[in-house]
Amino acid sequence: MDEQRIKWYRIAVEKEKLTELNRRSDLHGFLQCGSLLLLGTLTGSGCYAACQTGNWLWILPAFFVHGTLISFFGPPAAIHELSHGTPFKTKFLNELFFRIFGFLSWTNFVFFRTSHPHHHQLTLHKGRDLEIVLPLHFRPVDALYSLTFNPFWVIQQFKTHLRHSLGKIEGEWESRIFPETDVANRRALFSWVRILLLGHLALAVLFIATGQWILITIVQLPFYCSWLAILCGFPQHAGLKSDIDDFRYLCRTMLLGPVPRYLYWNMNYHTEHHMYPAVPFWKLPELHRLLRHDMPVPNKGILSAWKEILRIQKKQKTEPDYTFDQFERK
């Protein structure tokens, strides 16, 4: 894979301070991962209890809350941070929870862990970073999908999993990040997806055999009501510049309240994360305070970011090459 190193601009941080910021913590990793899994168990139990009543006035809100929460188990949050290996000081714990969240979210963690570093190294450089391909567009129908589920996306994900389970690599990005010479990583990719498919098949058989089929929708189908994860995650790069060796033009930082920051693992500090990806999620607010003197004014909340994105998309209808310069934000 052609990866001529990009000399990224990074706001200077004292060496001693950066060493402190990069320090990882098993305690913080356990608190974050454990609390999310506990909350998922509680919201899932709420769905199960609501289903026993047979009353849709209880069932629909219960599944809405559950889906909202577990949508953060996958690449938008948990999988993303675990792929960096930063939540835990102990590598075994990071790998363990990486697989747990990967299984629960139907994520091939091998693929994500292989793809994502290239995104960091080549962020929004056209033809090189194919994890994020600009321009990103959010359509009215996407709002409906976010509140329910996107059947086309789900079908595509299952097709990809099935293809990988058969040992097939397709497309430019897959061929670049999993070259034929990388036999070991290809084997890991195929092995995990087979575990994923067989494991979920076994669970589905167990739930059906025991008459608990409703657990399939609670435990095995984390594809609905991802509205909040989309509201948080889509703005990361949408409408911004490309082919610039400065993350301040390519990544969007938003200021969020404590609940979405917790669910989103502080990835709203996205410019800071790209500048110093080894800093664990729980120290990103501190990193933000250190860097903000040389950063664009951040979006003050989700609403501010989305108003900006929609304005950009509207302008791109008449000026397709238009992108937003964040240093113009007041």
Closest by CA to 317, choosing from 141, 135, 177, is: 135
Query: pTM, whole model, 2 decimals?
Result: 0.95
Token couple for 247? 């993350």
Ramachandran area for residue 127 (φ above 0: left; ψ -120 to 50: alpha; else beta)? left
Q: Please say whether the beta carbons of 9 and 246 come within 8 A.
A: yes
Q: Please say whether the beta carbons of 303 and 295 come within 8 A.
A: no
Can you count the helices (H) and strands (E) in the chain? 17, 0
- H/E segment holding residue 21: helix 15-21
Q: Please say whether the beta carbons of 206 and 215 come within 8 A.
A: no
Scan for tokens 């675990």, then name that residue. Answer: 82
pLDDT, one tens digit per residue, over 208-231 is 999 999 999 999 999 999 999 999
Residue 327 DSSP one-character state: G
Half-sphere exposure of 253 (CA within 13 A, CB side): 26
| pLDDT at site 3 | 57
Instruction: Give the C-alpha separation, 211 to 51, whole Å.
Output: 13
Residues facing residue 240 across a β-bridge? 324
Q: Please say whether the beta carbons of 131 and 116 come within 8 A.
A: yes
Measured at the CA of 213, the angle between CA 230 and CA 78, to 5 degrees, comes to 30
Following DSSP, what letter does each residue of 232-297 receive, concatenated? HHGGGTTTB--S-SBHHHH--BB---HHHHHHTTTTTBHHHHHH-TTS-GGGHHHHHHHHGGGSPP
The domains of the chain are located at: 23-235+306-328
- H/E segment holding residue 49: helix 26-53
Q: Please say whether the beta carbons of 284 and 108 come within 8 A.
A: no
Question: pLDDT tens per residue, the chain (330 residues)?
Answer: 455 789 999 999 999 999 999 999 999 999 999 999 999 999 999 999 999 999 999 999 999 999 999 999 999 999 999 999 999 999 999 999 999 999 999 999 999 999 999 999 999 999 999 999 888 899 999 999 999 999 999 999 999 999 999 999 999 999 999 999 999 999 999 999 999 999 999 999 999 999 999 999 999 999 999 999 999 999 999 999 999 999 999 999 999 999 999 999 999 999 999 999 999 999 999 999 999 999 999 999 999 999 999 999 999 999 999 999 999 998
| pLDDT at site 330 | 85
User: One-letter amino acid identity for 303?
Assistant: L
Closest by CA to 278, choosing from 79, 22, 6, 89, is: 22
Strands (E), the chain: none
Q: Please say whether the beta carbons of 250 and 240 come within 8 A.
A: yes
Cβ within 8 Å of residue 296, ≥6 positions away: 248, 253, 271, 326, 327, 329
Q: Please say whether the beta carbons of 247 and 274 come within 8 A.
A: yes
Give Rg (Cα) of the chain. Answer: 20
Give Dmax over CA atoms of the chain in angstroms. 60
Instruction: Give the C-alpha separation, 151 to 159, whole Å.
Output: 12
Instruction: Give the C-alpha separation, 93 to 88, whole Å.
Output: 6
Measured at the CA of 59, the angle between CA 54 and CA 61, to 5 degrees, comes to 155
